[in-house]
Structure 1
Amino acid sequence: MALADSVPGVSGGTVAFILGFYDNFVDSLNNIISEDKISRISALRFLSKIGIGWIVGFVLSVLFITSIFEKNIYEISSLFLGFIIASIPLIVKSEQKALSKNKKNIVFLIIGIIIVCTMTCFNPVKNSSQSFSININNLNIWFIGYIFIAGMIAISAMVLPGISGSTILLIFGLYAPMLTAIKQVLKLDFRYLPGIIIFSFGILVGVFATVRSVRYLLRTFRPQTIYCIIGLMIGSIYSVIMGPTSLEVSKSPMSMSTFSIIFFAIGCILVPALEKLKSVLKNKNTESENVEANYNS
C-alpha cells in the first residue's frame, strides 16, 4: 500500500481492495475511535500490522524507489497497468452478488471513471511554478492552512481505491517538496519537521472523515459504491498512462513504443498470485481455528 501511495498513479486503497481486506481496513479505521473496547483493541491490532508494513514501505520508497520511479517511469507504469487490469475481473467476481442486483447502477461506474480522468487532466506540471519548500523559515498562517488541507484531501484519495493521493499532491504542488522534507528529516534536518507535523494532522482529520463516509456507503449503498470503485480503478488506467507528464521533469505520456510488455505481464501475474496467497492463508487460518475449537471442546 505504501509503495502505491508514494508514487503517482495508483492508490493504496486499490491494493487493499484487490487483496480483499479493504472492508476490514475501513471498519478498523472507524472502530479505532469506537466506544466498544473490544472493537477498538481488535482494530488497533489489525492496523498496527498494516502500519508497520506501511512505514517500512514508505521509507524505502522515499529513500530509493522515487528515484527509480522517475528513471524507469514507463516500466513501472506498465507494471501498474497490468496490476490494475488483472485485478478488475477479480473484484467483479468477488462482488458479483452486489453488482448483479441492478444493472442501472452502471451509471456510478461511469461517474467513477469521469472523476479520475477529470482529476488527471489537471496537469500538475502547469503548477510547477508553485513548488514550495516546507521548512520552518517558509511557514506562515496561509501556508500552514494550505498544507493542512492538502493533507486532508490527499489521504482521502489514498483511502479510496483508484485515486492516487500522490497525484493530488502533485496538483497542489506539494509532491516533490513533501518527499524532500521527509528525506531531510530522515537525515536529521529538523527544519522540515513542523511542516510534516501539520501535514500529518491534516491526514488524521481527513482519514476519519473519509472512512466514516466510505463505510456508510459500503454498508448502505454497496452495489452503487462497488460500481463507483471499479470506475475509479478503470479511470486510473488513464491516470497511469498520463503519469509521466506529472513528474517534476515532465515526460511524454506512455505510448505503445514506451509500453513494456514484460512488466505488464509481471503485473498481470502478480495479482492472481497474491489472490492465491490470500486464499491459502485464509484456509490455513480457518484450519487453525477449527483445530483450536476442537481442542477446547
Structure 2
Amino acid sequence: MIMNLIRGFCMALADSVPGVSGGTVAFLLGFYDKFISSIDDLISGNMQKKKEALIFLIKLGIGWVIGFISAVSVLASIFDTKIYEISSLFMGFILFAIPLVIKEEKKSMIFKPSTIVAGIAGVAIVALITYFNPMSGQGTSINLSVLNIGLIIYVFIAAMFAISAMVLPGISGSTLLLIFGLYVPIISAVKSVITFDFAYLPILIVFALGILTGAASVVRIIKWALDKHRPIMIFLIIGMMIGSFYAIIMGPMTLETPKDPLSFETFSILWFVIGGVIIYGLQLLKKFSEKKA
C-alpha cells in the first residue's frame, strides 16, 4: 500500500510538470506494464480482473491525487517567474531518463528500418506540434471561465492527447498542454477549484471527460502495440523524449506574457543537475521496492 502510494505520488509530480510523463516514472520504477494492464483490465477484463485492477489503481490514485494537489498548489504561482529554472529541470529529467529507458529496454533496442523510422517519427511528431502551435508567441490569454463551443472542443481534444502522452513513457501530457497553450490556464483552474472557486469547474469537467475518453480509447492500443511491436514503440517513445527538448526550449513562448525561448544564457545548470538527481533517485526507489518484493 505504501509503495503504491509513493508510486502514485511520483507519477503525479511528473504528470503535473512538462518534462517526463507519469508513464516514464512508472517505467523507471518497474510497474509500467502492470499499470497499463490494470487500466485495460478495468475497461475490458472479467469481474476478477476488474476488481484486482480497481484495487491497484485506487492505491495508485490516492498517491497521485496527493502529489498532484501538492504540485499544483506550488506550480501555479511560480511557473511564470521561474520558467527558465523549471525548463532546465525538465531537460535534466529527460536527458537522464533516456539512458535508463534504453538500459531497461535493451532487448527491444533492435536497429532496423522500421525502428529507425519510428524514432525519427517520434522526434518529428513533437517538434512539428511545437513548431505549428498557434499559441506560441501569442500569449495564453484563454479565459477558461467563459465557455464557448470552440473552447470546449479544443480543451476536450487537448485532454485526449494529454492523457495519451501521460500513459506513454515519453513526452509528458503536461508538455503537450504547454504546446497547446493550456498548461498554465488548466493548472490555475485546478488551483482555483481546490480553493473553492468554482468558476472554472465546467471547463475542468470537459477536461476530465476528454481524459476519460482518451484513456478508454488509447490504452488498449498502447497495450497491443507494446505487446506486439515493442521495439518500434520503444524507439517511438525515445524519439518523442528527444523531440520534447525542442518543446521545452520553446515553452516560455506559450506563457500569458511570452518570453524568449530557453537559451545558454537562461539555462540553469543547477536545476538541470537536480532533475538528473531526481531521476536517479527514482531508479534507486525501484531497486529498493524490488528488494522488498
TM-score interval, smaller chain: 0.7 to 0.9
Q: CA RMSD in A?
A: 2.3
Q: Determine whether 1:59 maps to 2:66.
A: no
For residue 275 of structure 1, what is the aligned residue in structure 2? 283
How many residue pairs were aligned? Answer: 282
Contact kept? 1:10, 1:236, Cα under 8 Å: no
For residue 190 of structure 1, what is the aligned residue in structure 2? 198
For residue 128 of structure 1, what is the aligned residue in structure 2? 139
Contact kept? 1:127, 1:171, Cα under 8 Å: no
> Hey, what's the Cα distance between the residues in 2 that align with 1:260 and 1:5?
22
Give the superposition deviation at 1:111: 0.9
> Hey, what's the Cα distance between the residues in 2 that align with 1:184 and 1:264?
30
Q: Cα–Cα, structure 1 residues 219 and 270, in superposed 2: closer, same or farther, change >3 Å?
A: same
Identity among equivalent positions (%) equals 52
Range with greater deviation from structure 2 (67-76 or 168-177): 168-177
Which of 219, 230, 235 is the matching residue for 2:238?
230
* Partner amino acid, structure 1, of 2:67: G
Contact kept? 1:185, 1:193, Cα under 8 Å: yes
Give the superposition deviation at 1:140: 4.2
For residue 112 of structure 1, what is the aligned residue in structure 2? 122
For residue 8 of structure 2, what is the aligned residue in structure 1? none
> Any idea what the Cα deviations from partners look like across 1:252-291, whole Å, max 9, x if unmatched?
2222222222222222233223212211211211xxxxxx
> Hey, what's the Cα distance between the residues in 2 that align with 1:273 and 1:171?
28
Q: Cα–Cα, structure 1 residues 64 and 99, in superposed 2: closer, same or farther, change >3 Å?
A: same
Give the superposition deviation at 1:209: 0.8
1:133-172 equivalence runs, <5 A: 133-135=143-145, 138-172=146-180
For residue 176 of structure 1, what is the aligned residue in structure 2? 184
Q: Cα–Cα, structure 1 residues 266 and 175, in superposed 2: closer, same or farther, change >3 Å?
A: closer
Give the superposition deviation at 1:114: 0.9
For residue 21 of structure 1, what is the aligned residue in structure 2? 31
> Any idea what the Cα deviations from partners look like across 1:80-128, whole Å, max 9, x if unmatched?
2222111211111111111137475222111111111111213423453
Give the superposition deviation at 1:51: 1.3
Q: Cα–Cα, structure 1 residues 167 and 104, in superposed 2: closer, same or farther, change >3 Å?
A: closer
- Structure 2: stretches of 5+ with no match in the other structure: 1-10
* Partner amino acid, structure 2, of 1:128: G
> Hey, what's the Cα distance between the residues in 1 that align with 2:131 and 2:48?
45
Q: TM-score under structure 1 normalisation?
A: 0.85
Contact kept? 1:217, 1:225, Cα under 8 Å: yes
SS of the residue corresponding to residue 43 of structure 2 reads coil
